[in-house]
Structure 1
Amino acid sequence: MSQKGGRPLNGEDKKILIIGLGQIGYSNAEYMKKLGLRVDGYDIMEKAVQRALAAGVIQNQATNFKNYDYYIICISTHNPDNMFVPYLDGLFEVARKLSEEGTPGALVGIDSTITKGTSRKVMEILKHRLHVVHVPHRFYINEIEEHGVRQMRVVGGCEPCCVNEAVHFYHDMLEIPLHSVNPVEIAELTKVVENSHRYMEIAFAEELKMVCDNINIDFDELRKAINTKWNTKILEAKEGIGGHCLPKDSQMFLDFSKNAVQHSLLEAAKMIDYRYRAHIGRSPEISPYATVNKGNNDRDKVALYLPFEVISSLKKEFNIGEVEMQSLVAALINKIIKDHPHEM
């Protein structure tokens, strides 16, 4: 058995718990199982657990978080009722359960997409009894060999000791190449910015498709011609931007950047996607423009949904920017809650 720093590299004597057995958790468990590691699974959805058990990617269904060496959090971070809305309450509930039952000194790897400040909040909940790192998951199901679990990943930790534990687990044991960053907030922003950038790339293709349709130009032929240039790649324009990641992750970016910049390319991209859906005859999916928290957790948020056409018109009418507009809408929500507390 190979050694590094006195520790076995293959991890056969270690117990791993995958928390959340959706696509991210399932793919992680499947990969680790192929390496011969001992992997158990935990999910609040019994169906997800039974699927993993039936496929043999996990050994056992965990009923608690006791006696594990590695905890890999792979739960969804979008609102159960609306995938456009980021939702971190479930992750913090897992952190509180780990605080009570987790093994002191164990590693907590957050693979789920999170926003800035989340890792340190988890560390606070755990009181640094466990090591906390963020290693945003990268996975493309159609190209598993090249872009499966084993591909270059970014890692950031709340403390240097956390990063050391992460390197031993992800790099030495799982054989995943790592790009280490400091502070951990850089790792947190990585996935959010990656998917926000992708969102804008798709939105540009949608805008170009609408332009081509309106001036009677073949979009596909124009796209092929443009893409002959070595440093340019216009994407396809399909059925609008959906899925579990891009809408939610781009909203995370807008949420934390709204007080940093007055105008946003990403906001414009969301408007383009809204218009494109109408252009191709699909019902536009409207994300919440502003939210107000009337309680102590994400489920207590009240959201106001406005089509981007309305937002743009109001900004122009009142000659205000994005920050002022969001403040105005938030004030409106607060007034509605105050005037009609029992109806919200």
Structure 2
Amino acid sequence: MQYPEKTVIKDSIFHVCVIGLGEIGGGIFLELSKKFGSDQVYGVDINDAVIKRATLQGLNAGKEIPKAHNYIVSVYTAKQIIDVCQKIPLDTRPLISIEATSEPDEIQKIDQAISNSGNYDLVYFPHRFNPDDPDHQYFNLDRVIAGVTDQATKRAISFYSQFMSKDLIHEFPLPIVSLTKTMENTYRFIEIAIAEDIKIACDKRGIDFNLLREAMNTKWNINVLEARDGIYKKCLPKDSAIIHRFFPDLKILTAAIETDTEYKKYAKGVLRINPWYIISPLIIFSVFVIFMISNRIMSHFYVDPIYQRVEDLHSNIQQINKESSSGGEREERLNREVVDYIEEVRELKEAKNNKIIFPGTMLGGMN
């Protein structure tokens, strides 16, 4: 599908180019377009639907990386980071800021991969983002930064200070910053796994975990997290896996991963019982009961009277044969008895058809 981009990027040099317009990069792209103006900011993504949505909002977006003075890279995997950085034009000696999750030694690998292509300043500025908390998103919360060189760090702080408080930017050595984001989420992963393990133990002893958690959290320095249905989504499992590869001897993390795996199975079996497992048998049982009751009602109000009337007819015919002396009298009485029988059966059928009696839900009417 083809649709026009707002700006022809061939001869343009943008102030900022955001590469990767997912949940994090897309938000950064919108924020910076508001700050600097949409004509100064360009967004790059491989997803046609994402690009179309941006262009319909009057923003600059496309698949090709244009020239820019500052690049913010917010793609998903470490391999994507290197691939993207190798495609960035270095004509303007740009600032390249990596805001994506990376392996602990990834920034050095990126620097080695592009070092012979031109001049640039490379920094790592890992994002911190809480999707349900607007007070802690993008540029209004404390973050850590590190550059490959001191010059890169200073340039990045100067750039980001244009749209966030300088006091929120904390400089640390690159090896530390490279571990910070993934270790933060790993720590969170471990905390949740502890809560999951406690909940399983509480359930086995019939103890209300939520009430215990509430009581424990009344202490000023205790914050037991919720144990929901396991640790899903993207960041925590992905970042914990990165740290697990980097620190394979981190025993508490190994235990936490095993605990979460066990808890997910437990939660599926106990906490997330499909309600249809309960409802379906009840529905089937109810239908069966209705079936039996309706047939009994039909038998009582419709079938039984017919059977009884047939028996009465048979008995009356025998009685007429015994009592009647002449053939004409006997024939007249027999005819009258048959007419009465036919009339009574007809009245029963009309009552059934008019729902005066209940002929049975499952079997339907009898005509």
The one-letter amino acid of 2:259's match is I
Report the equivalent of 1:115.
Answer: 103
Report the equivalent of 1:275.
Answer: 262
Distance 1:34 1:208, change over 3 A: same
CA distance in structure 1 between the aligned counterparts of 2:151 and 2:269, rounded to whole angstroms: 50
Task: Note if 1:18 corresponds to 2:27.
Answer: no
Task: Note if 1:190 corresponds to 2:180.
Answer: yes
Report the equivalent of 2:47.
Answer: 45
Report the equivalent of 1:224.
Answer: 214
**CA deviation digits over 1:45-75, x for unaligned, max 9?**
112222333345xx21244334201110000
Structure 2 counterpart SS, 1:281: helix
TM-score by length of 1: 0.70
Structure 1 counterpart SS, 2:109: helix
Task: Note if 1:199 corresponds to 2:189.
Answer: yes
CA distance in structure 1 between the aligned counterparts of 2:230 and 2:266, rounded to whole angstroms: 10
How many residues were matched structurally?
253
Structure 2 counterpart SS, 1:18: strand
Q: Quote the offset at 1:282 in angstroms.
A: 6.1
Task: Note if 1:179 corresponds to 2:170.
Answer: yes
Structure 1 counterpart SS, 2:67: coil
Report the equivalent of 2:329.
Answer: none
Report the equivalent of 1:125.
Answer: 113
Report the equivalent of 2:343.
Answer: none
CA distance in structure 2 between the aligned counterparts of 1:268 and 1:208, rounded to whole angstroms: 13
CA distance in structure 2 between the aligned counterparts of 1:268 and 1:107, rounded to whole angstroms: 41
CA distance in structure 2 between the aligned counterparts of 1:232 and 1:124, rounded to whole angstroms: 44
Structure 2 counterpart SS, 1:71: strand
The one-letter amino acid of 2:52's match is Q
Distance 1:280 1:107, change over 3 A: same
Alpha-carbon contact 1:155-1:187 (below 8 Å) kept: yes
CA distance in structure 2 between the aligned counterparts of 1:169 and 1:72, rounded to whole angstroms: 11
After TM superposition, the structure 1 = structure 2 runs for residues 1-344 of structure 1, keeping only pairs within 5 Å, are 15-37=15-37, 38-56=40-58, 59-77=59-77, 88-98=78-88, 101-127=89-115, 129-175=119-165, 177-182=168-173, 184-258=174-248, 261=249, 263-281=250-268
Distance 1:198 1:282, change over 3 A: farther
Distance 1:93 1:217, change over 3 A: same
Structure possessing the higher relative contact order (Cα contacts under 8 Å, 6 or more residues apart): 1
Indicate the structure (1 or 2) with the bigger Cα radius of gyration.
Answer: 2
Specify which structure has the higher proportion of strand.
1
Structure 1 counterpart SS, 2:226: coil
Specify which structure has the higher proportion of helix.
2
The one-letter amino acid of 2:234's match is H
CA distance in structure 2 between the aligned counterparts of 1:95 and 1:163, rounded to whole angstroms: 18
Alpha-carbon contact 2:67-2:91 (below 8 Å) kept: yes
The one-letter amino acid of 2:222's match is T
The one-letter amino acid of 1:180's match is E
CA distance in structure 2 between the aligned counterparts of 1:34 and 1:150, rounded to whole angstroms: 15
Alpha-carbon contact 1:139-1:149 (below 8 Å) kept: no
CA distance in structure 1 between the aligned counterparts of 2:91 and 2:66, rounded to whole angstroms: 6
Report the equivalent of 2:305.
Answer: none
Distance 1:130 1:62, change over 3 A: farther
Structure 2 counterpart SS, 1:172: coil
Instruction: Identify unmatched segments of 5+ residues in structure 1.
Output: 1-12, 78-87, 284-344
The alignment's C-alpha RMSD in Å is 1.9
The one-letter amino acid of 1:123's match is D
CA distance in structure 2 between the aligned counterparts of 1:152 and 1:252, rounded to whole angstroms: 23
Alpha-carbon contact 1:66-1:102 (below 8 Å) kept: no
Q: Quote the offset at 1:103 in angstroms.
A: 3.2
CA distance in structure 1 between the aligned counterparts of 2:57 and 2:135, rounded to whole angstroms: 20
CA distance in structure 1 between the aligned counterparts of 2:45 and 2:24, rounded to whole angstroms: 12
CA distance in structure 1 between the aligned counterparts of 2:204 and 2:57, rounded to whole angstroms: 50
The one-letter amino acid of 1:23's match is E
CA distance in structure 1 between the aligned counterparts of 2:125 and 2:194, rounded to whole angstroms: 29
Instruction: Identify unmatched segments of 5+ residues in structure 2.
Output: 1-12, 271-367
**CA deviation digits over 1:210-258, x for unaligned, max 9?**
0110010001110000000000000111110011111110000011112
The one-letter amino acid of 1:271's match is E
Alpha-carbon contact 2:99-2:127 (below 8 Å) kept: yes
